[in-house]
């Protein structure tokens, strides 16, 4: 049986997912905290402690693509940084010695994109990440840098880079908290945890 690790950034997510996964002995759950350093430290600790076969990141993200709405689910086909530049001829977003884009595991991504969860829209594509809270004023620059980016968060880049270094299959699920044109969903924090778990539970059933 595959050892599956789930990593989240927020304590509220940790409490809910922990209760939901209590009956799955093959699972481990880790709380990393917000931002790149916390994500990298948390993922490294998780890998060295639990030796997982798969790491799943779940949490929230803000929309960049104007077609996305709050409560939509994003599956990262690949992840990139929006706040890194190592100078010289390297493009913005690329850490020297690493690829510009960190790809999700192809088999896991295919399973994720095959999910059907009632009442939820699941889209796959580019997730970008960095240590900045993004506002509407930042969106034009992000779209110029990554025209095909769907959404943005603060942990996926560091998590995917850490998994790349260790050779651990990785996939990220994010629920959209803010659309680019309509703002937040009024009942987001009451409904988002339940919807996130419905997707995660369906995915776990699909890969086991």
3-state secondary structure the chain: CCCEEEEECCHHHHHHHHHHCCCCCCEEEEECCCCHHHHHHHHHHHHHHHCCCEEEEEEEEEECCCCCCCCCEEEEEEEEECCCCCCCCCCCCCCCCCCCCEECCHHHHHHHHCCCCCCCCEEEEEEEECCCCCCHHHHHHHHHHCCCEEEEECCHHHHHHHHHHHCCCEEEEEEEEEECCCEECCCHHHHHHHHHHHHHHHHHHHHC
Which has more pLDDT, 189 or 75? 75
- In the chain, where the domains are located: 4-178
Closest CA to 169 of 43, 68, 19, 66: 43
Mean residue pLDDT across the chain:
89
Catalytic residue chosen out of the listed positions 65, 72, 155, 178: 178
pLDDT band at 188 (very low <50, low <70, confident <90, very high): low
d(CA 64, CA 82): 12
Residue 178 designated active-site = yes
Task: Report the chain's C-alpha Rg in angstroms.
Answer: 16
Using the predicted structure, report yes or no on whether residue 26 has a pLDDT greater than 80: no
Structural fold of domain 4-178: Rossmann fold (3.40.50)
Catalytic residue chosen out of the listed positions 13, 65, 72, 153: 13
d(CA 75, CA 58): 10
Q: What is the pLDDT of residues 124-147, one digit of tens each?
A: 999 999 999 888 899 999 999 999
Residue 13 designated active-site = yes
| Cβ–Cβ < 8 Å for 131, 160 | no
pLDDT at site 22: 67
Specify the pTM.
0.91
Which has more pLDDT, 181 or 66? 66
Residue that has been written with the tokens 């399973």 in this structure:
111
């Amino acid at each position: 049986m595959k050892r599956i690790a789930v990593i989240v950034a927020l304590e509220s997510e940790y409490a809910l997912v922990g209760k939901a996964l209590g009956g799955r002995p093959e699972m481990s759950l880790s709380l990393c905290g917000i931002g790149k350093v916390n994500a990298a430290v948390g993922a490294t600790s998780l890998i060295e402690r639990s030796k997982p076969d798969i790491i799943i990141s779940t949490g929230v993200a803000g929309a960049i693509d104007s077609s996305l709405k709050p409560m939509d689910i994003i599956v990262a086909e690949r992840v990139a940084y929006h706040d890194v530049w190592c100078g010289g001829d390297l493009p913005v977003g690329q850490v020297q010695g690493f690829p510009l884009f960190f790809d999700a595991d192809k088999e896991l991504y295919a399973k994720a994109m095959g999910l059907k969860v009632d009442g939820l829209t699941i889209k796959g594509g580019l997730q970008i990440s960095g240590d900045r809270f993004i506002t509407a004023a930042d969106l034009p620059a992000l779209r110029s840098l990554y025209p095909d980016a769907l959404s943005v968060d603060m942990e996926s880049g560091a998590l995917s880079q850490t998994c790349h270094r260790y050779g651990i299959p990785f996939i990220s699920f994010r629920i959209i908290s803010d659309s680019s044109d309509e703002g937040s969903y009024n009942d987001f924090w009451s409904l988002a945890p339940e919807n996130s778990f419905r997707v995660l539970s369906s995915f776990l059933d699909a890969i086991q």
